[in-house]
């Protein structure tokens, strides 16, 4: 394959970064629009969180399989097909006239994203061979992903306020069309990483783990209306346990090339880092959900004002992420990761003071800033901890597993905390049912992040071990590349 010229490679980088922006944007853009979606399609408070979870569960569950498909079928084919499917599902979401259609389209959209996102990374790592060019390309890819995550609330607020909630999905249609048109021109047709690789797809593993997580989440959210001892709750939870056990069996005994070789969990620090990140997202992913509802349903912010209200928190996440590498070099992984989890815990505890007569600056902003700073510190140091000491052959798996941990933790945390909030709100009644539920959810979320702090301080290696592991900068530079492996 002929090496593309500099101009062609720059255009290729723009195309794949635009695709990554589109995929990451759809994780966060819906938050501010949730009250409008609830009113438009008559969602319950518990059911509303499935607008988020339907996307994140399928995205996280099929992410590793998507990377494998890009390796074996060719990145260009998977990239174009994934983009087309993503844009089509987005259009169905925008046109949805029922709850079931919207949730089904969101799930399919997550599957399309799981095909598209790994392909963007694979294209970058196969096209940019020079170290300096690759670092520049990976930096742009990471920045675009961060921009998608941080601008979601603001863009969602603008679109919802000016055009109504279907616009947050419809915007992906012209974006997807542009990505496909440009991608067909600049992505090499022979873009396949391993032409000699055997074509083994662990479809059964991906289906089992995704179905198991979906059933577990479904059982948890139904506990609000049916009770924990109900067959309608215990049945899905039992089925989830069977499916997840089946997944473990397939990975250990059946799959020729498993999505997650279970032997990797023998690495104590990798397991501790992933568990910590799961707990981080269980607490903080739901935080954005509840703060959105508090701002709009209690403080009566419109969608645009709510979007702007998240900007300081976004800047706090960015600041924590920027500071983390230097702090890791000075104080070590364990200290930075544990401190980040403690800051997130403090922020969630502060948010338990939300009340009907409160204000954004008194009840939300200080806690949001602490959560954002803690999230930035914990995510970067947790990434380094997850891949430190892992062999080169397993570095891609380690990073991919961490990325899946973020999404799965967020989905399960949102399911658990939204159910707790709804139950508390129903039990409280009176003039303050919503804020009583939010306060309890923030308190339980703080319990998740505090548990993560304990894991970080006890199971992550205390020293930086420079002689045995790659430096934090090297690990951070490698993360996007490894995720595509």
One domain for residues 27 and 160 = yes
Boundary-marking domain end, from 188, 217, 244: 188
One domain for residues 207 and 296 = no
For residue 299, tell me if it sits in a domain: yes
For residue 197, tell me if it sits in a domain: no
What is the pLDDT, as a whole number, of residue 320? 85
Query: 338: domain CATH number?
Result: 1.20.1250.20
Task: Name the DSSP class of 2.
Answer: P
Q: Which residues of 23-60 are buried (b: 16+ CB within 10 A; e: fewer)?
A: bbbbbbbbbbbbbbbbebbebebbbbbbbbbbbbbbbb
Q: What's this model's pTM, rounded to 2 decimal places?
A: 0.77
Q: How far apart are CA 396 and CA 406, in angstroms?
A: 16
One domain for residues 231 and 157 = no
What is the pLDDT, as a whole number, of residue 5? 65
One domain for residues 217 and 138 = no
Q: How far apart are CA 134 and CA 474, in angstroms?
A: 13
For residue 193, tell me if it sits in a domain: no
Q: What is the pLDDT along the chain (485 residues), one digit of tens a residue?
A: 445 567 788 899 899 889 988 888 887 788 888 889 998 998 887 788 789 878 877 887 777 777 777 777 788 899 999 999 999 999 999 999 999 999 999 999 999 998 888 888 778 767 777 756 765 676 566 556 656 666 777 888 889 888 999 999 999 999 999 999 999 988 887 554 444 445 566 788 888 887 887 788 778 767 766 777 889 889 999 999 999 999 999 988 888 778 777 888 888 888 999 999 999 989 998 888 899 889 988 999 988 888 889 889 888 887 887 788 888 888 988 999 999 999 999 999 999 999 988 999 999 999 999 999 998 888 878 877 876 766 655 655 665 677 678 777 887 888 789 888 888 877 666 546 779 899 999 999 999 999 999 999 998 877 544 434 444 344 444 433 333 33
For residue 198, tell me if it sits in a domain: no
Task: Output the CA torsion sign for 415, 420, 425, 427.
Answer: positive
One domain for residues 350 and 400 = yes
One domain for residues 233 and 277 = no
One domain for residues 224 and 291 = no
The domain tally of the chain equals 3
Contacts of 300 (CB under 8 A, 6+ apart): none
Boundary-marking domain end, from 155, 188, 221: 188
What is the pLDDT, as a whole number, of residue 282? 92
Which candidate, 269, 262, 264, 260, places its Cα nearest to that of 388?
269
Q: How far apart are CA 75 and CA 119, in angstroms?
A: 5
Q: How far apart are CA 465 and CA 384, in angstroms?
A: 12
Cα–Cα distances (Å) from 228 to 35, 347, 438, 483, in that order, read 27, 30, 20, 38
One domain for residues 136 and 161 = yes
For residue 113, tell me if it sits in a domain: yes
For residue 194, tell me if it sits in a domain: no
For residue 173, tell me if it sits in a domain: yes
What is the pLDDT, as a whole number, of residue 249? 93
What is the pLDDT, as a whole number, of residue 484? 32
One domain for residues 279 and 178 = no
State which residues form the domain around 231.
Answer: 203-258
One domain for residues 379 and 405 = yes
Characterise 449 by phi-psi region: left (phi > 0), alpha (psi -120 to 50), beta (else). Answer: alpha
For residue 451, tell me if it sits in a domain: yes
One domain for residues 228 and 293 = no
Boundary-marking domain end, from 131, 155, 188: 188
One domain for residues 273 and 164 = no
């Amino acid at each position: 394959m002929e090496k593309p010229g500099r101009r062609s490679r720059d255009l290729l980088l723009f195309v794949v970064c635009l695709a990554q922006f589109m995929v990451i944007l759809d994780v966060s853009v819906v938050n501010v629009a949730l009250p409008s979606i609830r009113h438009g399609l008559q969602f319950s408070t518990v059911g509303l969180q499935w607008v988020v979870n339907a996307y994140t569960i399928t995205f996280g569950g099929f992410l590793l399989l998507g990377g494998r498909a890009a390796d074996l079928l060719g990145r260009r084919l998977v990239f174009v097909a994934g983009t087309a499917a993503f844009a089509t599902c987005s259009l169905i979401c925008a046109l949805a006239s029922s709850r079931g259609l919207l949730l089904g389209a969101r799930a399919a959209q997550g599957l399309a994203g799981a095909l598209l996102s790994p392909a963007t990374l694979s294209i970058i790592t196969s096209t940019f061979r020079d170290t300096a060019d690759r670092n520049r390309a990976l930096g742009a890819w990471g920045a675009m992903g961060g921009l998608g995550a941080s601008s979601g609330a603001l863009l969602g607020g603008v679109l919802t306020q000016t055009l109504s909630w279907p616009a947050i999905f419809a915007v992906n249609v012209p974006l997807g069309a542009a990505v496909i048109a440009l991608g067909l021109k600049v992505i090499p047709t022979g873009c396949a990483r391993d032409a000699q690789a055997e074509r083994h797809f662990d479809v059964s593993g991906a289906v089992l783990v995704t179905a198991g997580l979906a059933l577990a989440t479904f059982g948890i959210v139904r506990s609000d209306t049916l009770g924990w001892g109900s067959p309608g709750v215990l049945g899905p939870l039992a089925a989830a346990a069977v499916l997840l056990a089946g997944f473990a069996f397939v990975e250990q005994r059946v799959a020729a090339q498993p999505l997650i070789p279970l032997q990797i969990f023998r690495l104590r620090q990798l397991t501790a880092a992933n568990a910590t990140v799961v707990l981080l997202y269980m607490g903080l992913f739901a935080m954005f959900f509840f703060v959105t509802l508090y701002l709009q349903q209690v403080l009566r912010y419109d969608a645009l004002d709510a979007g702007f209200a998240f900007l300081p928190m976004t800047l706090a996440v960015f600041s924590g992420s920027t500071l983390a590498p230097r702090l890791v070099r000075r104080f070590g992984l364990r200290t930075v990761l544990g401190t980040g989890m403690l800051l997130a815990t403090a922020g969630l505890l502060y948010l338990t003071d939300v009340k009907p007569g409160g204000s954004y600056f008194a009840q939300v902003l200080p806690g949001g800033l602490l959560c954002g700073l803690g999230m930035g510190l914990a995510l970067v140091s947790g990434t380094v901890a997850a891949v430190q000491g892992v062999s080169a052959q397993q570095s891609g798996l380690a990073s991919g597993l961490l990325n899946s941990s973020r999404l799965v933790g967020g989905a399960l945390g949102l399911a658990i905390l939204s159910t707790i909030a709804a139950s508390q709100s129903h039990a409280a009644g009176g003039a303050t049912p919503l804020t009583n539920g939010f306060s309890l959810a923030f308190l339980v979320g703080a319990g998740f992040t505090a548990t993560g702090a304990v894991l970080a301080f006890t199971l992550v290696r205390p020293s930086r071990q420079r002689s045995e592991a790659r430096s934090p900068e090297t690990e951070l530079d490698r993360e996007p590349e490894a995720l595509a492996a």
